[in-house]
A and B are shown apart, each in its own frame.
Chain A
Amino acid sequence: MTTVYVPRDSSARSVGADEVAAAIKQEAARRSAAVEVVRNGSRGLMWLEPLVEVATAQGRVAYGPVTPDDVAGLFGAGFLEGAVHELGHGFTDRIPWLAEQDRLTFSRVGVVDPLSTPDYQTHGGLSALERALTMTPRQICDEVTESGLRGRGGAGFPTGVKWRTVLDAPGTEKFVVCNADEGDSGTFADRMLMEGDPFMLIEAMVIAGIAVGAREGMIYIRSEYPDAVATMRAAIRTAYQAGWLGPRVLGSDHQFDLEIRVGAGAYICGEETAMLESLEGKRGMVRAKPPLPAIEGLFGKPTAINNVLSLASVLVVLARGSGFYRDFGVGRSRGTQVFQLAGNVARGGIVETAFGMTLGEMLEKFAGGSASGRPIRAVQVGGPLGAYLAPAQFDLPLDYEAFAQVGAMVGHGGIVVFDDTVDMAAQARFAMEFCAAESCGKCTPCRVGAVRGVELIDRIVAGENADANVALLEDLCELMTDGSLCAMGGLTPLPVRSVLLHFSEDLHRSKGARP
């Protein structure tokens, strides 16, 4: 029996993985070849999807991108023995793009059958939880703090410190909430982890529960991710049957119950307090802070809210030690970040690497330039609230502080590439438009400011009093930055200002406007 892997990842499915899996089964039947098709997660080499792997005695051999029409030819060439073929890439693990990464949190994604508990345990699953069960909650919080791990959802707050606050907060009922809203365009790492290694998130939630003294957890997944919702729900059912969740986690005295909640298409619900409102069944309106959610969170109880990637990193910290994790990275950005190469890139996908690589190296070595073959003109890092970077800034290291210093942000690690056909005035306008559309409406600088921002950019582009209106736009950006209640209104000026600073020629293209 030969095992053939065809991803069930939703991105792989979006480019034909289901059809390829069906074609392989059909061709195997026709040839009476003993083939078992396993639907794994994606290895994250998105430009090669659908990427098919064949398990050989020497290792897994990769072929891609495969279409159903290629399947008969692959069988004919002997791909079940790992034979050479024009779609072949040799051993998957030795593809340089993959081999040169530091796959810590993504170590199992694409490797295992996502819903197989034996696979999970063979590949290191549960070792972090087993260790956590020998530690006190304080020790767990301290270990996470010592690792230097900062929240991967965008704000970069130290995870161990947050957990310690929840642990020390008075009260017997506490919650753990996982932020799987992943609203930033250009990001898909949370989704791939949930679809490709769902037990990882369950194990991490249980550990978070032990660390902060919570017996209940919720994972808030955006509705745009139906495959992730289905995979997580199936994994939770299995975890209950296996005793990984429920009244006695792994036979210990710890109880932990876990539930999935699904969002409803509001970007602002990725903001943690809006998410809490949404979980309580209300409109996703941002709450004023203080009180911090760590003190008064879900249903008014102390709540630890963490991004999927932060939780995944905790597993690495506990399984391999805080020192191991901290040794990756630079400055105050410790460990690895899961970068997501997206948009106009030749080789898009997941690049998990230690902090510190320059943006330029990432674009050359991993992205391989633009997909169109045209020069790269702008790169937006950190989602719709992140700055656009110009080629002159490509020597910037991928590091929270280095980015913050130039008015940019690493955020959730999305890297969206644009070639020289991009209209940067339109991108600045889009940033304001998006803010206007997704604002929760609670504070004026954001609700009204974003609408004014769109109008101002339209006037500037039309050449109406361009200088005066640019000055007004700059004032507006300052007002939004300083006066907004949350980072939605507070960070929308980042992309707008970056366009004013590095791409202003696009704002002044119209006739009558200054050059």
Chain B
Amino acid sequence: MTVKPPADRDLAPRYVPWSEEAALAVMRALPALRGPLLPVLHALQESFGYVDPKAVALVAHELNLSRADVHGVLTFYSDLRTSPPGEVRVQVCRGEACQSVGGHALAEHAVSSLSVGFGETAADGSVTLEEVFCLGNCAVGPTVRVNGRLHGRVHAAGLDRLIRDSTPSGEPA
């Protein structure tokens, strides 16, 4: 299956392109915190969609840490990415509760229909597929998250539809 953002919907770019100036602006807009590294990396990823490896030296300098400290944290946490995500980000829950209601089949369907493996982004940047271990939605599984929006009771056909119609996450109405 090929993934294309729907043409009839005005999908504003979710992320701004990486630049040192923008990164500094993001960091300096944050309140002063004790133990600020993780909140800073989160903020950078929210703005750019990933933490550019070039940010390591910048963050180290701003927070008065060593580059090794920053690099160590950036590589420890599975949420933090060092390359841009695809246009559509699909996260499939592999936790036990979802396994018990058809999670394995859903995971296999995701891999075969999107032609990417878990942890990979399609070469054309259309989609990123990730596995996650529990999204706290365990009574209404199988669970997936598409561009940040949580979906329960999802089976193969439902996943295809969600990916076709994917929209950025919304607040409750």
**Chain A positions near chain B (C-beta within 8 angstroms):** 8, 10-11, 13-15, 17-18, 21-22, 25, 39, 46-47, 49, 182-188, 191, 223-227, 230, 259, 261-267, 278-284, 299, 340-345, 348-349, 371-372, 380, 384, 414, 416-419, 422, 427, 430, 434, 438
Contacts and interface: CB of A to CB of B under 8 A. Distances in A.
Contacts of B153: 15
B58 to A, nearest CB: 16
Given A278-B38, A299-B34, A342-B97, A46 B76 contact: no
Contacts of A348: 138-140
Contact of B133 (A14, A185, A261, A419): A185
Contacts of A282: 37, 69, 72-73
Contacts, number: 163
B115 interface: no
Interface in B7-36: 33-36
Given A185-B95, A282-B37, A438-B133, 10 more contacts: A22-B173, A25-B173, A185-B96, A224-B132, A224-B136, A283-B76, A284-B76, A299-B34, A345-B139, A430-B96
Contact of B152 (A15, A227, A264, A341): A15
A342 B103 CA distance: 13
A264 B140 CA distance: 24
A224 B65 CA distance: 28
Interface residues of B, number: 47
A11 B73 CA distance: 31
Given A188-B138, A341-B139, A348-B138, A266 B77 contact: yes
Contacts of A263: 77, 79
B122 to A, nearest CB: 21
B155 interface: no
> Do most interface residues of chain A lie in helix, strand or loop, or is the interface mixed?
mixed
B67 interface: no
Given A15-B152, A348-B140, A414-B138, A186 B96 contact: yes
Interface of B: 33-39, 41-42, 63, 65, 69, 72-73, 76-80, 95-101, 132-141, 143, 148, 150-153, 169-173
A214 to B, nearest CB: 14
Main DSSP-derived SS at the B contact region:
loop
Contacts of A262: 38-39, 42
Nearest to A427: B96
Contacts of B76: 266, 283-284
B47 to A, nearest CB: 15
A272 to B, nearest CB: 16
A264 B97 contact: no
- Count chain B CB atoms within 10 A of each CB in A185, A267, A280, A384 and give the residue with the most: A185
A340 B139 contact: yes
B137 A281 contact: no
Contact of A267 (B73, B80, B133, B139): B133
A279 B96 contact: no
Contacts of B132: 224, 265
Question: Which of A49, A281, A348 has the most C-beta atoms of chain B within 10 angstroms of its own C-beta?
Answer: A281
A414 B139 CA distance: 10
Nearest to A191: B136
Nearest to B154: A14
Contacts of A430: 96, 99
A224 to B, nearest CB: 5
B138 A185 contact: yes
Contacts of B97: 185-186, 342-343, 414, 416
A279 B140 contact: no
B150 A13 contact: yes
